[in-house]
Amino acid sequence: MTQALDRWSPPMRDPDDDTPRLECGVFGVFDIDDAAAMTALGLHALQHRGQEACGIASFDGQRFHTERHMGHVGDAFGGGGLAERMPGRFAIGHTRYSTAGGSFIRNVQPMFADMEAGGVALAHNGNLTNFLTLREQLVSDGVIFQSTSDSEVILHLIARSRKSRFVDRFTEALSRIEGGYALVALTNKKLIGVRDPLGIRPLVLGDLDGKAVLASETCALDMIGARFVRDIEHGEMVIIDRHGIESLRPFPAKQARPCIFEYVYFARPDSVVNGRSVYDVRKRMGRRLAQEAPADIDVVVPVPDSGVPAALGFAQEAGAPFEMGIIRNHYVGRTFIQPTQGARELGVRMKLAPNRAVLAGKKVMLIDDSIVRGTNSVRVVRMVREAGAAEVHLRSASPPIQWPDYYGIDMPDRDKLLAANHSVEEIAKILNVDSMGYLSVEGLYWAMGVGPRDEANPQFTDHYFTGDYPTRLLDREIAEGRNEAVDRQLSFLVDA
């Protein structure tokens, strides 16, 4: 019997898959029965935030237990026996899609470190914009890295702090990192949650029969029957222990600026993020889009599943029927090999199928949540035309994506972003649609219900649409100064 420890081939991403990806969801519970099992359930509800890998760390009062897997939460932690393998009333968990770091096993979280003060398990969602700079400094100080994950940088900063109290060490470490992130950490005494100074990445506090729960989204609270208490605030650190919940402000005060893409695509529609229902915001995007970019159509059809709420909003505003003109096949598996004959457009047909009864002979309005490179849109439009649509109109429920992200979203470089390189008219031609339209940035802010964008102090992180990054981008600046790729220092790393 043998078992490969260091190698794992993740399912190939379909090269035509055009969805942006978020890297992570985090979850934590303190002092409840079956902490690991409850964490598994919370992670299952956060599966949409990362399907590549997942992990849980629990503490049983004496020892830490960690288990990390490639693949889905249900496969990894379902099936029984978890309580025996991971006892304890304290646990944190993580579900992951990689942006930085490569899809290798060492990078799966939570990361654990044995420090002088005891063990610490840490998981994060987001990305540090000065990761490479910190890593370079640490390596030159003699630090050895076992992974290419942000979490490990943070652990080293905590370990090397000269402070004596753990919270002070953590705070000192936080003072050195930059970027957008939500962190959960578990020690032998505390569960800690931190949200970056601008609140770019989300984190919420829940209550399960009087015990604290932390989660990336409220849908994870619903999953375990916990009550939503409040969002962790931007720049807030909450420290949960047997005495209760303490709130610290380790950073200089700033105005909040949460990521608006959570509403556009990432968060689940049943989640409430920063006080707003994601479903409601998406419907408002669709409604506004119907006002900004109307067309003479017979039927409104969402690109499933993420386009559904906006399509409902569009249809209600436009007074046109909403129909499921595209059916999604939810069964997936390893990538099929494209046969040499016949199976045209296999990539898209594996997941989406045309519903001829809705499409044939109709003037169809397709609603998608966003368009990144446009590769998927081309194929969906072609599929709808082949199913007999008389006209195909396409609307994006978000503004044109023109700038890459550095806070944890996996997007292509600028030269691959369709809207960064083409006018709307060109895009209509490229995608072969009868008309094309995007929601405006103003429309997006209207949908958020906050009035017009404050150009001096924008209410949201929205650089994808505006190029207005909320923090400096240290690694990128240094790399540009050196005329190197941003991932220069990692070139020497072991690849497995």
Binding residues for Mg(2+): 306, 368-369
Cβ atoms of 70 and 105 within 8 Å: the answer is yes
CB of 83 to a second copy, least distance (A): 8
Regarding 115 and contact with a second copy (CB under 8 A), the answer is yes
Which amino acid appears at position 228 of this protein?
Answer: F
Element containing residue 244 per DSSP (H, E): strand 244-248
Name the token pair of 145: 């890295």
Name the segment binding a second copy (CB under 8 A); options: 108-116, 239-247, 290-298, 436-444.
Answer: 108-116
CB of 481 to a second copy, least distance (A): 20
- Specify the residue, 349 or 422, whose C-beta has the smaller distance to a second copy: 349
Q: Within 343-372, which residues bind a second copy (CB under 8 A)?
A: 343-346, 349-350, 353-358
Cβ atoms of 51 and 76 within 8 Å: the answer is no
Which amino acid appears at position 219 of this protein?
Answer: C
The interface mask with a second copy, positions 251-280, x = CB under 8 A, is: -----------------xxx-x----x-xx
Cβ atoms of 412 and 433 within 8 Å: the answer is no
| Binds a second copy (CB under 8 A): choice among 15, 61, 209, 456 | 209
Q: Within 372-431, which residues bind a second copy (CB under 8 A)?
A: none
Regarding 208 and contact with a second copy (CB under 8 A), the answer is yes
CA angle 486, 488, 492 (to 5 degrees): 150
> Which of the following is catalytic: 24, 54, 219, 259?
24
- Specify the residue, 335 or 466, whose C-beta has the smaller distance to a second copy: 335
- Specify the residue, 324 or 450, whose C-beta has the smaller distance to a second copy: 324
- Specify the residue, 117 or 245, whose C-beta has the smaller distance to a second copy: 117
| Binds a second copy (CB under 8 A): choice among 17, 19, 103, 145 | 145
- Specify the residue, 360 or 428, whose C-beta has the smaller distance to a second copy: 360
Q: Is 259 annotated as catalytic?
A: no
- Specify the residue, 24 or 418, whose C-beta has the smaller distance to a second copy: 24
CB of 380 to a second copy, least distance (A): 14
Cβ atoms of 320 and 263 within 8 Å: the answer is no
Regarding 447 and contact with a second copy (CB under 8 A), the answer is no
- Specify the residue, 350 or 420, whose C-beta has the smaller distance to a second copy: 350
| Binds a second copy (CB under 8 A): choice among 248, 390, 420, 493 | 493
Cβ atoms of 171 and 250 within 8 Å: the answer is yes
What is the spatial distance between Cα 325 and Cα 298, in angstroms, rounded to a whole number? 12
Q: Within 184-203, which residues bind a second copy (CB under 8 A)?
A: 188
Regarding 336 and contact with a second copy (CB under 8 A), the answer is yes
What is the spatial distance between Cα 317 and Cα 145, in angstroms, rounded to a whole number? 54
What is the spatial distance between Cα 387 and Cα 299, in angstroms, rounded to a whole number? 14
| Binds a second copy (CB under 8 A): choice among 11, 102, 250, 412 | 11
Cβ atoms of 26 and 93 within 8 Å: the answer is yes
* DSSP conformation class of 322: B
* 460 to 54, 122, 170: CA distances (angstroms): 29, 27, 27
Regarding 243 and contact with a second copy (CB under 8 A), the answer is no
CB of 436 to a second copy, least distance (A): 26
Closest CA relative to residue 392, chosen from 436, 422, 426: 436
Q: Within 46-105, which residues bind a second copy (CB under 8 A)?
A: 47-48, 51, 55, 57, 62-80, 82-83, 85, 105
CB of 416 to a second copy, least distance (A): 26
CB of 445 to a second copy, least distance (A): 19
Q: 278 has which bridge partners?
A: none
Cβ atoms of 46 and 218 within 8 Å: the answer is no
| Binds a second copy (CB under 8 A): choice among 27, 90, 112, 131 | 112
Q: 115 has which bridge partners?
A: 118
Which residues fall in the annotated binding site?
A: 306, 368-369
| Binds a second copy (CB under 8 A): choice among 18, 22, 44, 129 | 44
Q: Within 123-142, which residues bind a second copy (CB under 8 A)?
A: 139-142
Cβ atoms of 476 and 470 within 8 Å: the answer is no
Regarding 153 and contact with a second copy (CB under 8 A), the answer is no
Name the token pair of 101: 């770091």
- For the beta carbon of residue 194, count every other beta carbon within 10 angstroms: 26
Q: Within 310-329, which residues bind a second copy (CB under 8 A)?
A: 312, 316, 321-324, 327, 329
The dihedral through the CA atoms of 93, 99, 101, 103 has a sign that is positive
Name the token pair of 449: 């219900």
Q: Which alpha helices (H) appear in 61-130, and where do they start and end? A: 73-77, 82-85
Which amino acid appears at position 14 of this protein?
Answer: D
- Specify the residue, 200 or 214, whose C-beta has the smaller distance to a second copy: 214
Which amino acid appears at position 177 of this protein?
Answer: I
Active site residues: 24
